[in-house]
């Protein structure tokens, strides 16, 4: 039974990482929404997941089956519980991944047309397949939903130009748990930060920080190559790489080859926000050469300008937050020497770096935060719930 005056909402996905806790709690606290989140607790994403006892909403552990395509690295996924929920009509609105390779989402969209269910698709609005045929299928996919939620204005605009009705598209600006980071930032004093850097033996160092999986697509190796050039002009420069992944051994070997052991720290995987915050507050610059993603928001939340590669096709939509000379700097893609130049620019101009720091933090406070993200999602939910079907397509049999 639906609680009086509340819209029963079910969100499905592969996993529910801890950084989504803030926005999901905001959504669940809204007076007209009753929220259930369904995902796989042990999904192998290399992230810390939310635990049911940590949240006020219902968090259900469901199975995800990954089907690998032979001779490729691509997979299709199936979540039987997703289709069962849509067929059974257990909720008023279903928020599903906007991902073509989720076979069950296709089935849910077909079922929703037959049974009059309300489905909203949530995601980037693009994927690894972006040719003409893939784009045609993606448009068909998205047109089958009642509402669409994108992470950026750019994605919404692009699909509006492709003919998808403006009124069914919403933007939930992609955000981490910005309430948590704002609270932690005020709780950690300057003396705390000084004590932390001293505990690492890095007092007086100019710290550059990277946070993310050590994957080839992110090019963390370029940071090491750039540091070999940076320390020649700024001996107190020090890079800290936070994260684990398949490139760790290769990077550590290169650090030794370049005799950078006293200038590069491999901190390993860290998931607890307060621990990460100590590193970010101790740093002066954030850097991620490629596939920057949510690390941009993370860095900005702690007032760090960021240096990123300039091949925008290699970055998720979050790259639109980086404004040259305002919140960050771009370097020529895959060019370690140019990365070193951009880092040296910021080290040489502390006043400019501080101005960029303020603008970076304001970007989060004014737009890319949990309040605006929850607002975008709730608008799509209410639109989907209120939307009337002009007709229900019946099968021919």
Q: What is the DSSP annotation of 303-332?
A: T--EEEES-GGGS-GGGGG--BTTTEEEE-
| Structure confidence at residue 336 (pLDDT) | 98
- Residue 377 backbone phi and psi in degrees, to 5: -65, -45
Residues 376 and 83: their CA atoms lie apart, in Å, by: 25
Three-class DSSP category at 91: coil
- Residue 193 backbone phi and psi in degrees, to 5: -65, -40
- Residue 97 backbone phi and psi in degrees, to 5: -65, 135
| Structure confidence at residue 54 (pLDDT) | 96
From edge to edge, which strands make up the β-sheet containing 328-331?
264-268, 237-242, 206-211, 285-288, 306-309, 328-331
Give the position of tokens 């502390």: 350
What does each of the 397 residues of the chain score in pLDDT, given as a tens digit? 456 689 999 999 999 999 999 999 999 999 999 999 999 999 998 889 999 999 999 999 999 999 888 877 778 889 999 999 999 999 999 999 999 889 999 999 999 999 999 999 999 988 665 677 888 999 999 999 999 999 999 899 999 999 999 999 999 999 999 999 999 999 999 999 999 999 999 999 999 999 999 999 999 999 999 999 999 999 999 999 999 999 999 999 999 999 999 999 999 999 999 999 999 999 999 999 999 999 999 999 999 999 999 999 999 889 999 999 999 999 999 999 999 999 999 999 999 999 999 999 999 999 999 999 999 999 999 999 998 643 333 333 2
- CATH number, domain 7-175+370-386, options 3.40.50.11930, 3.40.980.10, 1.10.1740.10, 3.40.1410.10: 3.40.50.11930
Any idea where the domains of the chain sit in the sequence? 7-175+370-386, 178-366
Contact between 67 and 40 under an 8 Å Cβ cutoff? The reply is no
| Structure confidence at residue 72 (pLDDT) | 75
Contact between 16 and 39 under an 8 Å Cβ cutoff? The reply is yes
- Identical fold at 7-175+370-386 and 178-366? yes
Three-class DSSP category at 115: helix
Spell 109-126 as b/e; 16+ CB within 10 A means b: bebbbeeebbbbbbbbbb
| Structure confidence at residue 391 (pLDDT) | 34
| Structure confidence at residue 393 (pLDDT) | 33
The structure's pTM equals: 0.91
Residues 207 and 240: their CA atoms lie apart, in Å, by: 7
Q: What class does CATH assign to 178-366?
A: alpha beta
């Amino acid at each position: 039974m639906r609680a009086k005056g509340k819209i029963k909402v079910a969100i499905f996905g592969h996993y529910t990482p801890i950084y989504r806790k803030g926005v999901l709690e905001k959504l669940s606290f809204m007076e007209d929404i009753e929220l259930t989140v369904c995902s796989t607790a042990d999904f192998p994403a290399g992230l810390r997941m939310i635990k049911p006892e940590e949240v006020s909403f219902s968090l259900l552990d469901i199975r995800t089956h990954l089907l690998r395509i032979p001779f490729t690295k691509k997979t299709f996924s199936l979540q039987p519980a997703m289709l069962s929920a849509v067929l059974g009509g257990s909720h008023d609105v279903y928020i599903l991944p906007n991902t073509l390779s989720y076979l069950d989402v296709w089935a849910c969209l077909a079922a929703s047309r037959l049974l009059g269910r309300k489905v909203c698709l949530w995601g980037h609005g693009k994927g690894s397949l972006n040719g003409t045929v893939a784009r045609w299928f993606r448009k068909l996919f998205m047109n089958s939903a009642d509402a669409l939620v994108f992470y950026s204005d750019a994605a919404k605009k692009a699909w509006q130009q492709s003919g998808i009705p403006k009124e069914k598209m919403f933007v939930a600006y992609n955000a981490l748990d910005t309430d948590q980071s704002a609270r932690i930032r005020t709780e950690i004093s300057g003396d705390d930060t000084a004590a932390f850097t001293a505990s690492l033996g890095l007092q007086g160092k100019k710290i550059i920080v990277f946070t993310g999986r050590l994957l080839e697509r992110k090019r963390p190796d370029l940071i090491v190559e750039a540091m070999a050039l940076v320390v020649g002009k700024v001996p107190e420069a020090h890079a800290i790489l936070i994260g684990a992944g398949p490139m760790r051994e290769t990077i550590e070997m290169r650090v030794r080859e370049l005799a950078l052991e006293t200038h590069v720290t491999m901190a390993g995987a860290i998931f607890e926000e307060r621990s990460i915050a100590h590193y970010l507050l101790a740093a002066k610059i954030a850097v991620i050469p490629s596939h920057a993603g949510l690390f941009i928001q993370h860095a900005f939340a702690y007032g760090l300008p960021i240096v990123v590669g300039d091949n925008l096709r290699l970055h998720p939509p979050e790259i639109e937050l980086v404004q040259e000379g305002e919140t960050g700097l771009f370097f020529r893609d895959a060019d370690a020497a140019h990365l070193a130049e951009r880092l040296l620019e910021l080290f040489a101009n502390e006043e400019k770096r501080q101005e960029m720091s303020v603008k970076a933090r304001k970007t989060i406070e004014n737009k890319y935060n949990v309040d605006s993200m929850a607002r975008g999602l709730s608008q799509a939910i209410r639109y989907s719930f209120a939307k009337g079907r002009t007709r229900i397509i019946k099968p021919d049999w």
